[in-house]
């Protein structure tokens, strides 16, 4: 007779066998048996957050920075509904996450019991899959499958809803099965023929560009190595989506910077004029493509993605290769090397003219801004932050808005998994809890949340978590007193009607830091910015850095309103010629 | 404000929509129909009709037949998105005018009226394998199996003859010959 374990014990057995070291959570009535069991499992550390959304984002930060799935534990009803934003965020950005939620006892399900909600119903569209465990004998298999679903293929969040009586009930524990077939959903279906087609396109290209995305990061550090080799072998220019930053070194000469709505002039023009576009692990998001009908009109398009449903979803491609980025690019690299050792000739001379053209676009210096000696320009603040932290292995998270774009433009990442931002869902309030998660995964590293004052207030309470666990996260707030991106669009599209985008009564962040028991630093003079940033970096503990910046600064360059990639507005000087006209307004 | 203030692009020129039938094999477990139907509503695809029942009690497999309309790109997406769902085993997809596939729907008609009217109804239904399931002096329940359009037509035709209630299923589909879906 095998030993029978309670549901709560099985949950922890599964977590141990899945090599989970940290869970982010918040207790409540329907998960108390699981919390009661926590003390018996010293290898698993629980991080108590202040709001379940914070638990979710912390798990996302943990997952993105470590490559391991983030684990969340919440109670029924409000506990589960509070985590929905984070689940949706993880779903949009393909972050592996396992959420365990308590549920009212099975005999009360459907009776509108206290703290009951239809958790699996609510989370069905924002998870890869979810389970309501009504039979204790299924619990261990469901738990193991949940980890499998979250981490294989295109990663994503899953949720397991466990009624309280199941947590008490007893059953035999099943170890994870070696290779469980997921309904035959295999992920590497590409053929040698497809690789050859790609090589042939590469050899013919005169104006090629590589456009890489978050899929490279999700595929693991080896994918970044393979990508770097691929770029080196081909000599092609490379641009990256917001989520892909860091897969290729940001300060390398072949890197054109980020593309898309706030991407660089050279990246977007190269996308528009190219004759070969190689998409590696990106999904032709609408912030990237601009006007679909005029997106990269003259190019052959290649799409490498692990998710077949990403192919031809938005942009029709000429060659689709479904597979894991590491496997596909490794194969491509090997084939290129093999052909070169034969009599294959390098096509680098073919693209010399293309590089000349790119250099011309580069000379526009599209990330330029007019600096000031009187007020701190937000771009300048990010640049200084980068200069003063680039020699450390720094991890950066952001909230959502102008500061996020400035961080993406001016902070240069050289390694994958160092950049955590909410791209798909665009969740304000992501950065602070995500920084908590990153710091938990990397206790010795410098973790900075480049924040906006409006965003950070949405999940400010997690500062308390950081203080409780001595997590020395640095909250670098670019404080312009506005919801900056909202203000920018109102300025450009709505005749400067700044409807509700100004925060009348901001808290004093210095006092707030004091109240939370962390350090507060305030900067409003460009001349002592460096010194204060250094003070923040050197301080061993959490810091709220209130950086007062020019409130009227806009984020440029920008693809305006219904325009294709080759019609960007650059900066204040360029705007007069390029006013956004009536019809285009609908398209921003 | 007449101008749209949307933060997104306006739709480009629409392609032509066609009617397709999807056949989906799923694990017969709680919530699986909600997952499939939720995928359609969540992504803005429409469902013209739906039929679902367990077809393999041993393996616990249900077969869902969905009639939908969409552009070739949308149809492609529907297939790929359905395939991604964890409880989905396989997905088949057919154009409605595919000659290799049989589509059938069933309808029950309740007719209230004199004998001669009911006779007329049965006569009208002759082409569609009518079966009288219930009969009284003043009423009858007639079952027919036919295509959607034919049932539409019949229910219009029978109205003046005393049709007071119609109940109909979604379409089910099967390939002709010895071949099965893969």
Q: What is the pLDDT of residues B117-131, one digit of tens each?
A: 999 999 999 999 999
Predicted TM-score (pTM) of the model is 0.93
Q: Nearest by CB to A124, which of B38, B76, B77?
A: B38
Q: Please answer yes or no on whether A587 and B9 come within 8 Å at the CB atom.
A: yes
Q: Nearest by CB to B9, which of A125, A129, A292?
A: A292
Q: Which residues does chain B have within 8 Å of residue A120's beta carbon, measured at their own beta carbons?
A: 31
Task: Write the CA distances from B27 to B30, B41, B81, B155, B172, integer angstroms.
Answer: 9, 21, 16, 35, 18
Question: Which residue in chain A has the smallest CA separation from B5?
Answer: A586
Tell me the pLDDT of chain A (588 aa) as tens digits. 778 999 999 999 999 999 999 999 999 999 999 999 999 999 999 999 999 999 999 999 999 999 999 999 999 999 999 999 999 999 999 999 999 999 999 999 999 999 999 999 999 999 999 999 999 999 999 999 999 999 999 999 999 999 999 999 999 999 998 765 554 556 777 899 999 999 999 999 999 999 999 999 999 999 999 999 999 999 999 999 999 999 999 999 999 999 999 999 999 999 999 999 999 999 999 899 888 888 999 999 999 999 999 999 999 999 999 999 999 999 999 999 988 766 556 677 889 999 999 999 999 999 999 999 999 999 999 999 999 999 999 999 999 999 999 999 999 999 999 999 999 999 999 999 999 999 999 999 999 999 999 999 999 999 999 999 999 999 999 999 999 999 999 998 889 999 999 988 999 999 999 999 999 999 999 999 999 999 999 999 999 999 999 999 999 999 876 788 888 888 876 655 555 554 455 544
Question: Which residue in chain A has the smallest CA separation from B6?
Answer: A586
Question: Which residue in chain B has the smallest CA separation from A291?
Answer: B9
Q: Which residues does chain A have within 8 Å of residue B81's beta carbon, measured at their own beta carbons?
A: 309
Q: What is the pLDDT of residue A457?
A: 97
| A20 Cβ contact partners less than 8 Å away, ≥ 6 residues apart | A44, A68, A69, A71
**Alpha-carbon distance B103 to nearest alpha carbon in chain A (angstroms):** 27
Q: Please answer yes or no on whether A183 and B86 come within 8 Å at the CB atom.
A: yes
Q: Please answer yes or no on whether B10 and A587 come within 8 Å at the CB atom.
A: yes
Q: Please answer yes or no on whether A183 and B88 come within 8 Å at the CB atom.
A: yes
Per-residue pLDDT tens digits for B68-108: 999 999 999 999 999 999 999 999 999 988 998 999 999 99
Q: Please answer yes or no on whether B9 and A582 come within 8 Å at the CB atom.
A: no
Q: Nearest by CB to B10, which of A313, A494, A586?
A: A586
**Alpha-carbon distance B10 to nearest alpha carbon in chain A (angstroms):** 6
Q: Nearest CA to A128 among A166, A160, A80? A: A160
Q: Please answer yes or no on whether B87 and A183 come within 8 Å at the CB atom.
A: yes
Cα–Cα distance between A6 and B140 in angstroms, integer?
Answer: 59
Q: Is A164 part of the annotated catalytic residue set? A: yes
Beta-carbon-side half-sphere exposure of residue A122 (alpha carbons within 13 Å) = 18
Q: Is A147 part of the annotated catalytic residue set? A: no
A327-359: burial string, b at 16+ Cβ within 10 Å, e else: bbbbbbbebbeeeeeeeeeebeebbeebbeebe
Q: Which residues does chain A have within 8 Å of residue B85's beta carbon, measured at their own beta carbons?
A: 129
Please enumerate residues of A whose Cβ is less than 8 A from a Cβ of B: 120-121, 124-125, 128-129, 132, 134, 149, 182-185, 286, 290-293, 307-309, 311-313, 316, 489, 493-494, 562, 582-583, 585-588
Q: Which residues does chain A have within 8 Å of residue B76's beta carbon, measured at their own beta carbons?
A: 312
Q: Is A194 part of the annotated catalytic residue set? A: no
Percent of chain B with pLDDT over 70: 92
Phi, psi angles (nearest 5°) of residue B11: -65, 145
Residue A148, H or E segment = helix A139-151
CB-based contact (8 Å) between B2 and chain A? Answer: no
DSSP strand pairing (A447-452 vs A395-398)? parallel
Q: Please answer yes or no on whether A494 and B5 come within 8 Å at the CB atom.
A: yes
Residue A408, H or E segment = helix A402-410
CB-based contact (8 Å) between B177 and chain A? Answer: no
Per-residue pLDDT tens digits for B165-174: 999 999 999 9
- Please name the residues between 36 and 65 in chain B that touch chain A, using a CB distance below 8 Å: 38, 42
Cα–Cα distance between A219 and A253 in angstroms, integer?
Answer: 24
Q: Which residues does chain A have within 8 Å of residue B7's beta carbon, measured at their own beta carbons?
A: 489, 588
Q: What is the pLDDT of residue A141?
A: 96
pLDDT beyond 60 at B1: no
Q: Please answer yes or no on whether B10 and A182 come within 8 Å at the CB atom.
A: no
Cα–Cα distance between A444 and A438 in angstroms, integer?
Answer: 11
Q: What is the pLDDT of residue A564?
A: 86
Q: Which residue has the tokens 């992504």?
A: B43
Cβ atoms of A380 and A371 closer than 8 Å: yes
Q: Please answer yes or no on whether A128 and B86 come within 8 Å at the CB atom.
A: yes
Q: Is A1 part of the annotated catalytic residue set? A: no
- How many whole angstroms from its chain centre is CA A219? 14
Q: Nearest by CB to B86, which of A129, A290, A309?
A: A129
Q: Please answer yes or no on whether A308 and B73 come within 8 Å at the CB atom.
A: no
pLDDT beyond 70 at B38: yes
**Alpha-carbon distance B38 to nearest alpha carbon in chain A (angstroms):** 7
CB-based contact (8 Å) between B113 and chain A? Answer: no
Q: Which residues does chain B have within 8 Å of residue A185's beta carbon, measured at their own beta carbons?
A: 83-84
Task: Write the CA distances from A96 to A184, A391, B101, integer angstroms.
Answer: 20, 29, 41
Q: Which residues does chain B have within 8 Å of residue A286's beta carbon, measured at their own beta carbons?
A: 8-9
Mutate to test the interface with A, among B2, B7, B13 (most CBs of A within 10 A): B7
**Alpha-carbon distance A292 to nearest alpha carbon in chain B (angstroms):** 8
Q: Please answer yes or no on whether B4 and A585 come within 8 Å at the CB atom.
A: yes
**Alpha-carbon distance A254 to nearest alpha carbon in chain B (angstroms):** 31
Q: Which of A115, A461, A481, A575 is catalytic?
A: A115
Q: Is A495 part of the annotated catalytic residue set? A: no
Q: Nearest CA to A158 among A54, A104, A83? A: A83
Q: Which residues does chain A have within 8 Å of residue B73's beta carbon, measured at their own beta carbons?
A: 312-313, 316
Q: Nearest CA to A92 among A495, A425, A387? A: A425
């Amino acid at each position: 007779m095998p030993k029978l374990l309670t549901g709560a014990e099985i949950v922890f057995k599964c977590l141990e066998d899945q090599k989970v070291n940290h869970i982010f959570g918040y207790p409540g009535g329907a998960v108390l048996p699981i919390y009661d069991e926590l003390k018996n499992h010293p290898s698993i550390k629980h991080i108590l957050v202040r709001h379940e959304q914070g638990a979710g984002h912390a798990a996302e930060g943990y997952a993105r920075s470590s490559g391991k799935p983030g684990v969340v534990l919440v109670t029924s009803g409000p506990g589960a509904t509070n985590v929905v934003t984070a689940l949706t965020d993880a779903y949009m950005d393909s972050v592996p996450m396992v959420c365990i939620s308590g549920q009212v006892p099975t005999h009360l399900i459907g009776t509108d019991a206290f703290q009951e909600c239809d958790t699996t119903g609510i989370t069905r569209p924002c998870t890869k899959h979810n389970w309501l465990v009504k039979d204790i004998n299924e619990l261990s298999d469901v738990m193991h499958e949940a980890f499998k679903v979250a981490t294989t293929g295109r990663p994503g969040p899953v949720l397991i809803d466990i009624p309280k009586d199941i947590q008490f009930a007893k059953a035999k524990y099943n170890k994870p099965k070696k290779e469980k077939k997921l309904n035959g959903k295999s992920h590497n279906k590409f053929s040698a023929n497809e690789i050859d087609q790609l090589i042939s396109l590469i050899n013919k290209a005169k104006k090629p560009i590589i456009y890489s995305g978050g899929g490279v990061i999700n595929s693991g550090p080896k994918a970044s190595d393979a990508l770097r080799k691929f770029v080196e072998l081909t000599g092609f220019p490379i641009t990256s989506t917001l989520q892909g930053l860091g897969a290729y070194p940001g300060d390398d000469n072949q890197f054109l910077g980020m593309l898309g709505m706030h991407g660089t002039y050279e990246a977007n023009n190269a996308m528009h004029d190219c004759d070969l576009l190689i998409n590696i692990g990106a999904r032709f998001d609408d912030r990237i493509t601009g006007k679909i009908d005029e997106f990269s009109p003259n190019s052959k398009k290649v799409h490498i993605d692990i998710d077949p449903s990403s192919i031809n979803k938005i942009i029709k491609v000429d060659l689709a290769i479904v597979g894991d980025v590491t496997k596909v690019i490794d194969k491509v690299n090997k084939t290129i090397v093999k052909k070169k050792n034969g009599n294959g000739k390098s096509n680098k001379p073919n693209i010399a003219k293309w590089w000349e053209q790119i250099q011309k676009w580069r000379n526009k210096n599209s990330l330029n801004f007019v600096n000031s000696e009187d007020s701190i320009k937000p771009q300048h603040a990010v640049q200084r932050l980068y200069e003063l932290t680039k020699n450390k292995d720094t991890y950066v998270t952001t909230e959502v808005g102008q500061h996020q774009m400035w961080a993406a433009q001016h902070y240069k990442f050289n390694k994958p998994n160092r950049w955590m931002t909410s791209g798909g869902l665009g969740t304000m309030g992501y950065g602070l809890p995500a920084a908590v998660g990153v710091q938990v995964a990397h206790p010795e590293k410098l973790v900075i949340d480049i924040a906006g004052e409006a965003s950070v207030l949405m999940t400010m309470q997690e500062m308390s978590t950081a203080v409780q666990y001595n997590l020395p996260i640095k909250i670098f707030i670019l404080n312009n007193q506005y919801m900056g991106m909202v203000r920018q669009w109102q300025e450009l599209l709505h005749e400067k009607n700044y409807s509700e985008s100004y925060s009348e009564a901001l808290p004093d962040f210095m006092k707030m830091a004091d109240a939370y028991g962390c350090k507060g630093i305030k900067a409003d003079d460009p001349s002592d910015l460096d010194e204060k940033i250094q003070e923040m970096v050197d301080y061993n503990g959490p810091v709220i850095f209130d950086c007062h910046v020019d409130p009227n600064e806009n984020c440029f360059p920008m693809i305006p309103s219904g325009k294709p990639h080759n019609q960007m507005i650059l900066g204040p000087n360029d705007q007069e010629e390029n006013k956004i006209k009536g019809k285009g307004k609908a398209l921003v | 404000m007449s101008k749209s203030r949307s933060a997104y692009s306006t739709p480009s020129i629409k392609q032509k929509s066609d009617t397709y039938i999807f056949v989906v094999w799923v694990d017969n477990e709680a919530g699986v129909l909600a997952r499939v139907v939720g995928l359609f509503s969540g992504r803005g695809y429409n469902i013209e009709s739906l039929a679902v029942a367990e077809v393999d009690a041993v393996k616990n497999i249900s077969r869902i037949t969905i009639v939908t309309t969409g552009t070739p790109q949308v149809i492609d997406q529907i297939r790929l998105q359905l395939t991604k769902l964890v409880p989905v085993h396989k997905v088949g997809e057919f154009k409605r005018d595919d000659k290799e596939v049989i589509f059938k729907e069933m309808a029950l008609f309740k007719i209230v009226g004199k004998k001669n009217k009911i006779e007329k109804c049965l006569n009208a239904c002759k082409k569609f394998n009518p079966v009288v399931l219930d009969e009284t002096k003043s009423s009858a329940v007639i079952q027919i199996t036919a295509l959607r359009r034919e049932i539409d037509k019949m229910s219009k035709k029978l109205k003046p003859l005393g049709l007071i209630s119609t109940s109909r299923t979604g379409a089910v589909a099967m390939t002709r010959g010895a071949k099965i879906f893969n």
